[in-house]
Amino acid sequence: MSVRIITISRQFGSAGHSIGELVAKKLGIKFYDSELVTKIAEKSGFDASFIRENGEQTSSGSGLFYDMGMYGGASFAPLSLYDQLYITQHNIIRELADKEPCVIVGRCSDYVLEDRDDCLHTFIYADGDFRAKRILEIYGDNGVKIEKRIRDKDNKRSAYYRHYTNREWGDPHNYHLCLNSGFLGIEECADMIISAVKSREGK
């Protein structure tokens, strides 16, 4: 089946956002990364900063921080705010995929859409030097050692992915294509994703 949806899982600093944006631009389709945060905020009432902080990484309180005000007297286990956020994200990603061709970055979108045959799931990664340089260029130095910033973000995304999918983040079997952006470059990664999409046309 032809590819309508491209999901991009990416390591922090691997240029996954830029690659996804370029793919969407070249294919003339919608791009959802921070745009997804806005949509989730509109739909759920969650604050955008809460979504950005907890929409694809576990927080130290995850699984413990229940909305007891809503479910305090119920006999079933209440949903944490994090679980509610995940469910909202899940529903919005599925609605977007139904609606029109697009590129979706992060938020377990490969797992959320795994039952569909019209998706290309990709994972973008790179070596530490490439990522460190890019993080410092884009986000600046925040006083925390760059190796620690990378490790912490990877660990959080990995734990979040494992928690909600029971799969390993970055395991090739979850994706159709895994690209080392540090070696290949942003433009070539985008072109390879587009090539994969084109190769499925009419199939």
Q: List contacts with its own copies (CB under 8 A).
A: 120, 123, 125, 127, 170-173, 175-180, 183-185, 188, 191-192, 195-196, 199
- DSSP per position, 32-65: ESHHHHHHHHHHH---HHHHHHHSSS--TTTTT-
Shortest reach from residue 114's CB to its own copies, in Å: 12
With respect to its own copies, which residue has the nearer C-beta, 99 or 173? 173
Provide the CA 80 distance to its chain's centre, in angstroms.
20
Q: Of 89 and 174, which has the nearer Cβ to its own copies? A: 174
At 45, the amino acid letter reads G
Cβ of residue 61: shortest distance to its own copies, in angstroms? 31
Output 79 or 177, the one with its CB closest to its own copies. Answer: 177
Nearest-approach distance from CB 125 to its own copies, in angstroms: 6
Identify which of residues 37 and 193 has a Cβ nearer to its own copies in the complex: 193
Please state the closest distance from residue 94 (CB atom) to its own copies, in A: 21
Shortest approach of its own copies to residue 150 CB, angstroms?
A: 13
Show contacts of 147-150: CB within 8 Å, 24+ apart: 149/12, 150/11, 150/12, 150/13
Taking only Cα atoms into account, the Rg of the chain, rounded to an integer number of angstroms, comes to: 17
Evaluate whether 181 touches 14 at the Cβ level (below 8 Å): yes
| Minimum CB distance to its own copies smaller for 55 or for 101 | 101
Residue 64 in contact with residue 47, Cβ under 8 Å?
A: no
Q: Which is nearer to its own copies, 72 or 202 (CB)?
A: 202
Residue 21: which region, alpha, beta or left (left: phi > 0; alpha: psi -120 to 50)?
alpha
Q: How far is the CB of 119 from its own copies (least distance, A)?
A: 10
* Neighbouring-strand partners of residue 9: 123
